Chain A
Amino acid sequence: MIPFEYVRPDSISGAVSLLLEDPEGTSLIAGGTDILSEVKDGLKRPRRLVALDGLAELRSLDVGNGSTRLGAGLTLAELSTNPRLERGYPILTQAARSVATPQVRNVATLGGNLCQRPRCWYYRDRLFPCYKKGGSVCYGATGHNRYLAILGGGPSFMVHPSDMAPALIAVDARLEAFGPNGFRTMPLEDFFDHGQSRPLQEHVLGSGELVTAIFLPSPPPDTRSVYLKARERADHDFALASVAASITLAGGVVAKANVILGGVAPTPYRARLAEAAIVGRPVDKLDLQEAARLAVSEARPLEFNRYKVSLTANLVGQALQSLLTQLKGGTSHADRL
């Protein structure tokens, strides 16, 4: 690994000042499970790494009545083993447990999971000066694109690798960031950005900003959620496609639905047409097949990833079916994949 300086600020303001000193040459390091690979592989050459692991401000986990706050520095293991979190938001536990391996989860943080970089093979090989490294080409568009985007692709066809992101969006999470202008919050959905302005990141943070926490509203009664993830290998593997779905019923009618797709688009993808097809319908008159079809009706597969269209539709159908079963009082275990 090419040497760098490692600095451990003792507050988030300290971290912000360090970031502003040399924005180009500085990277944040939380658990380090992603950034260190990037440095070792020569994808990034930071002069300085600013460590977040000493910051108590990022480490709190408050499951409250009105809302829940998850510090960005919590590890995925902490999220996946917290019983109160599991009671309130089982979808988050499911998603956290599906990430990587026990060893990764013991150090990888929530903030790091949301800010991790693409896993596209072309991006991860330093020989390709691809769009996501500041180049002008997405090699995946015409190359080996079996794992790449079927929805919302271009100019890069990367897929967002995070499992936590779709699950959090499905429970209406908000993200809190801190920067030179203090705190701001936004719906987590708006945090992800595939805009052309900042190809070197997949989110909207500005210079000197960092993620401090995630806020979760308490779910309305009669809400159920589930996270399903399809992968090629039963352990340490990213999603080929995943679905985070949640449904809220009111008087036998679907009052609200979130259907968020992971692993199929450059950012977590809201399947609006599928949501529209079920919201407002009586729960016993839902056409799940149709909703599943609509979830991918805007898909534009590349040469080698057509399979993801049916895979994603099947997962959506299965997820919705599982939610209905749960809402009808059936057991709520996630279906086996």
Chain B
Amino acid sequence: MKEALTAVGRSLPRAGLAAKVTGEARYTADVKLPGMLHARLLRSPHPHAEIISVDTAAALALPGVHAVLTPFDPEAAGRLAPDMTILSKRARFVGDEVAAVAADDDSLAEHALQLLRVQYRPLPFETDPQEALRPEAARIHPGGNLCGGAPMLLERGSVERGFAEADLVLEETYKVPCHSAAALEPRAALARWDGDGLTLWKTSRGVHQDRSTLAHALGLPIDSVRVVAPPLGAGFGNKDESRGAAIAALLSRKAQRPVRLDYSRHEEFVAGRVRHSAVIRLAMGVKNDGAITAIDNSTLMNTGAYLASGPGVLRRAAQGSLYLYRCPNVRYQGLLVYTNAPVAGSYRGLGAPQGHFALEVHVDRVAEALGIDPLEFRLMNHVGPEGQEGRRRSPRHEIVDTQPVEGGIPFSSNGLRECLERGAEAIQWRGRPASNPLRPPALRRGTGVAACIYRGGPGRESTARVAIHRSGRVTLATGVIEVGQGAHTVLTQMTADALGCRYEDVDVVSGDTATAPEAPITAGSTATFSSGLATVKAAAKLRGSLLDVASTLFELPRDRIYFNRGLVFSKDRPTELAALSDVAAQMPRGSLEAEATVTPGSPDYIVNSFAAHFAEVEVNLNTGGVRVLRYVAAHDSGKIINPATAVNQVEGGVSQALGLALTEELVTDPGSGVTLNGSFLEHKSPGIAAYPHLQTIFVETEDPLGPFGAKALGEPPTVPVAAAVVNALYDAIGIRFAQLPVTPDKVLDALAEASPRPRRDP
């Protein structure tokens, strides 16, 4: 079957791109309905307050205003999450939704907002997670500010024993700030009622999840809600909540007209979902020979006003410490804390970029203390294909949680060593200058490395449906949303090869609960893996049924026929018998369809992706400016289904994460609780000018469990970036930054304290 691959492994054009380069593609905010109203949200100016009353009379009296929704409307009490209702009589951060207006146009709605008279009772508030844990701190939710009521504790062996065995123990605290995903497309929703049935168009990363959340919150039977996701202007895992859509739905029901809600850019920054800020205390014990005896990680994360996906993020922040290096004794204590700050949620890499920043900078620190080259130290200690030493504890028949704490479970594939070796070669690690020459006028260069392990791939149960029609066209129905990562492209390629049709013949049906089958949300880099497996299985099933048709048609035994590139072949003849569409035309019914549901993963193996990144930076001692000159990203994501879109994905992930490393931070003012810099000018995401020369290397281990050998790729590119850059900075100026982003002020302040010195003396 391998030599028959005609779509998988090739750089075929990205699905859906043709309609995007012409402007034809309609994103959510481009969808319009006759009679549609425009909604705007009133957001709390207080970080924490009780809402005593909302006087809507003046707003409703304004001609052209059709509906106002407040927390005093009983239907607004519908629950979207255990800690969140559609609207609440308690505002928990500056920007929390308080009320909403629907009017003939946007500026009228804005005007009406100003006529709402809200009486607030301000409450004490917390913006710092450490402070929020004090017993006397303001309580943000009834259960207290520590989410789940207890720390998350994950442990293998005994760190006490590990530290006792160590020749050297180093400890340091690392800080990662909150920053925003800030997808270019702001959140949007459009609601329409037909009798008791509700249709919602919304920015979404999973229409099925959104449908059940919304049906539950609105008190509707699930069948009467249809959620449609138009093309998404990227989400980065982020657009997974439904508050805006629920509000649009309720306004629409009140006004008896379709209602559209568009977030402004400022709302997107402040009331979207941000990355959890983290304070990570890391202690590592090592032997003089470089063996790691203990890793102890305590992580404090700020989830903001609501929990969202916090626990999953907290868990991901552990995975580097637990699994990247061979170590018998590890401990992770994670604290997730509510504050009166913007809501943290899923953002590309979840907690892994935070955790890896701390771990991978710390590893360099330890290597230096031992006098070992940072790359060699990693080569000595990184986890191999056999996984961690130890005895498996989880039941033998259960699918392995892909980031287990215990040892004794091998990886399905692990190309980390090759990533390190090939990346090092590409950046000429071993040939880099032994000293750091002073470059005029005041420029210093340095090189750094960081590695990454990422859980991704196995997700929850996933379904796909593949059908072929009389015309010969094939449809793939999948619940996976195209968020810009190219999921539909690779699923189309897999369908083509698993069925034997041409890539061009496949249409994807997705993003609509009316037509697409259930799939997990597009998250945790599961699309290629989980939905890929379901797709391949469904396509293979369909091929079986088509073979029956062909076998009758050509009067040949089934096993003498095969399909390839949309043609039908007999194994006994060099030329094709017919086109697949000819067979399809003879199908007894209008179309043939096959559906498959898979629960991906294995009871025997851990499925992880790996990467090693290398950065070369230049520091300007006069201005504190940092430029990334060259960057090499070596990835093991299994077989690469589409090299072009995969390279794009890696390059984009690296560049995006350079923002976390060097420029981005969303700042909430401790005095007022106001988030100060919710704009593209003020929250400084990378532009094209600073884009570095970037080389991507794929170490193509063919994973035995993945579809066509593929593993996850979406998120790993963001994970090791900050550490690689910060390690390169140390190489350049001998200053080890423990706090992101490394902006010019931090560089200049640090330079003022320590005069710069080349680290590697000649």
In chain B, positions 665-684 with a C-beta closer than 8 Å to chain A are 667, 669, 671-672, 674, 676-677, 679-682, 684
User: Of all chain A residues, which has the CB nearest B664?
Assistant: A233
B10 within 8 A of A: no
B743 within 8 A of A: yes
CB of A127 within 8 A of CB of B672, answer yes
Option from A41, A233, A304, A307 in Cβ contact (under 8 Å) with B687: A233
Given contacts A122-B676, A307-B744, A310-B752, contact A237 B684 (CB under 8 A): yes
CB of B45 within 8 A of CB of A304, answer no
Closest Cβ of chain A to B729, distance in Å, is 16
Binary contact track B671-703/A, C-beta < 8 Å → 1, others 0: 110101101111010111110000000000000
Given contacts A143-B669, A144-B676, A335-B441, contact A230 B690 (CB under 8 A): no
Option from B45, B625, B663, B745 in Cβ contact (under 8 Å) with A337: B625
CB of A127 within 8 A of CB of B107, answer no
CB of B744 within 8 A of CB of A2, answer no
CB of B669 within 8 A of CB of A2, answer no
Option from B107, B622, B676, B744 in Cβ contact (under 8 Å) with A121: B676
Query: For the complex, what is the distance from the CA of A153 to the CA of B715, rounded to whole Å?
Result: 45
Option from B625, B669, B679, B689 in Cβ contact (under 8 Å) with A235: B689
User: Of all chain A residues, which has the CB nearest B110?
Assistant: A2
A5 within 8 A of B: no
Closest Cβ of chain A to B742, distance in Å, is 11
CB of A310 within 8 A of CB of B748, answer yes
Which residues of B lie under 8 Å from residue A307 when comparing CB positions?
A: 624, 744-746, 748-749, 752
Total number of A residues with any Cβ neighbor in B under 8 Å? 39
Closest Cβ of chain B to A34, distance in Å, is 11
Query: For the complex, what is the distance from the CA of A237 to the CA of B366, rounded to whole Å?
Result: 37
A218 within 8 A of B: no
CB of A128 within 8 A of CB of B623, answer no
CB of B688 within 8 A of CB of A233, answer no
CB of B745 within 8 A of CB of A125, answer no
Closest Cβ of chain B to A123, distance in Å, is 11
Given contacts A307-B624, A314-B622, A318-B441, contact A230 B744 (CB under 8 A): yes
Question: Majority SS of interface residues in chain A?
Answer: loop
Which residues of B lie under 8 Å from residue A2 when comparing CB positions?
A: 107, 110-111
CB of A233 within 8 A of CB of B684, answer yes
Given contacts A2-B107, A121-B682, A337-B620, contact A127 B94 (CB under 8 A): yes
CB of A314 within 8 A of CB of B623, answer yes
A223 within 8 A of B: no
Option from A127, A240, A305, A314 in Cβ contact (under 8 Å) with B45: A127
Which residues of B lie under 8 Å from residue A124 when comparing CB positions?
A: 679, 682
Binary contact track B367-382/A, C-beta < 8 Å → 1, others 0: 0000000000000000
User: Of all chain B residues, which has the CB nearest A119?
Assistant: B681
Closest Cβ of chain A to B123, distance in Å, is 17
In chain A, positions 159-206 with a C-beta closer than 8 Å to chain B are none
CB of B677 within 8 A of CB of A121, answer yes
Query: For the complex, what is the distance from the CA of A306 to the CA of B746, rounded to whole Å?
Result: 10
B contact residues, range: 35 or more
CB of A234 within 8 A of CB of B674, answer no
Query: For the complex, what is the distance from the CA of A3 to the CA of B624, rounded to whole Å?
Result: 44
A236 within 8 A of B: yes
Binary contact track B540-570/A, C-beta < 8 Å → 1, others 0: 0000000000000000000000000000000
Option from A122, A232, A315 in Cβ contact (under 8 Å) with B663: A232
Which residues of B lie under 8 Å from residue A237 when comparing CB positions?
A: 681, 684
Binary contact track A133-169/B, C-beta < 8 Å → 1, others 0: 0000001001110100000000000000000000000
Query: For the complex, what is the distance from the CA of A122 to the CA of B677, rounded to whole Å?
Result: 9
Given contacts A234-B689, A235-B688, contact A311 B667 (CB under 8 A): no
Which residues of B lie under 8 Å from residue A232 when comparing CB positions?
A: 625, 663, 684, 743-744
Most A CB contacts (10 A, CB to CB) among B623, B672, B682, B752 go to B623
Which residues of B lie under 8 Å from residue A236 when comparing CB positions?
A: 680-681, 687
Query: For the complex, what is the distance from the CA of A3 to the CA of B114, rounded to whole Å?
Result: 14
User: Of all chain B residues, which has the CB nearest A240?
Assistant: B744
User: Of all chain A residues, which has the CB nearest B681?
Assistant: A236
Which residues of B lie under 8 Å from residue A315 when comparing CB positions?
A: 622-623
Which residues of B lie under 8 Å from residue A41 when comparing CB positions?
A: 266
User: Of all chain A residues, which has the CB nearest B751?
Assistant: A310
CB of B752 within 8 A of CB of A233, answer no
Which residues of A lie under 8 Å from residue B627 when comparing CB positions?
A: 234
CB of B671 within 8 A of CB of A143, answer yes
Query: For the complex, what is the distance from the CA of A85 to the CA of B688, rounded to whole Å?
Result: 28
Binary contact track B739-762/A, C-beta < 8 Å → 1, others 0: 000011110110110000000000
CB of A311 within 8 A of CB of B677, answer no
Closest Cβ of chain A to B114, distance in Å, is 8
Which residues of A lie under 8 Å from residue B687 when comparing CB positions?
A: 233-236
Given contacts A127-B674, A315-B623, contact A233 B749 (CB under 8 A): no
Which residues of B lie under 8 Å from residue A139 when comparing CB positions?
A: 669, 671-672
User: Of all chain A residues, which has the CB nearest B667?
Assistant: A144
Query: For the complex, what is the distance from the CA of A27 to the CA of B258, rounded to whole Å?
Result: 37
Which residues of A lie under 8 Å from residue B111 when comparing CB positions?
A: 2
Closest Cβ of chain B to A191, distance in Å, is 25
Binary contact track A302-337/B, C-beta < 8 Å → 1, others 0: 001111101100110110010000000000000101
Given contacts A121-B677, A144-B669, A232-B744, contact A306 B620 (CB under 8 A): no
Closest Cβ of chain B to A99, distance in Å, is 13
Query: For the complex, what is the distance from the CA of A209 to the CA of B679, rounded to whole Å?
Result: 32
CB of B745 within 8 A of CB of A304, answer yes
CB of B674 within 8 A of CB of A125, answer yes
CB of A125 within 8 A of CB of B748, answer no
In chain B, positions 600-647 with a C-beta closer than 8 Å to chain A are 620-625, 627
Given contacts A144-B667, A237-B684, contact A125 B676 (CB under 8 A): yes
Query: For the complex, what is the distance from the CA of A122 to the CA of B669, rounded to whole Å?
Result: 10
CB of B623 within 8 A of CB of A311, answer yes
Which residues of A lie under 8 Å from residue B680 when comparing CB positions?
A: 236
Closest Cβ of chain B to A324, distance in Å, is 13
Which residues of A lie under 8 Å from residue B110 when comparing CB positions?
A: 1-2
Closest Cβ of chain B to A317, distance in Å, is 8
CB of B671 within 8 A of CB of A233, answer no
Query: For the complex, what is the distance from the CA of A237 to the CA of B669, rounded to whole Å?
Result: 22
Given contacts A2-B107, A127-B94, A236-B681, contact A311 B624 (CB under 8 A): yes
Which residues of A lie under 8 Å from residue B674 when comparing CB positions?
A: 125, 127-128
User: Of all chain A residues, which has the CB nearest B659?
Assistant: A233
Closest Cβ of chain A to B421, distance in Å, is 33
Which residues of A lie under 8 Å from residue B679 when comparing CB positions?
A: 124
Which residues of A lie under 8 Å from residue B622 when comparing CB positions?
A: 311, 314-315, 317-318, 337
Interface residues of B (CB under 8 A from A): 45, 94, 107, 110-111, 266, 441-442, 620-625, 627, 663, 667, 669, 671-672, 674, 676-677, 679-682, 684, 686-690, 743-746, 748-749, 751-752
Question: Which 5 A-B pairs have CB atoms at the shortest separation, nearest pair first?
Answer: A234-B689, A314-B622, A307-B748, A235-B687, A307-B745
22 example contacts (A-B, Cβ-Cβ < 8 A) are as follows: A2-B107, A121-B677, A124-B679, A124-B682, A127-B672, A142-B671, A143-B671, A235-B688, A236-B681, A237-B684, A238-B681, A240-B623, A240-B745, A307-B624, A307-B752, A308-B745, A310-B751, A310-B752, A314-B622, A315-B623, A317-B622, A337-B623
User: Contacts A127-B94, A234-B690 given; 5 further ones with Cβ under 8 A?
Assistant: A41-B266, A128-B674, A144-B669, A234-B627, A234-B689
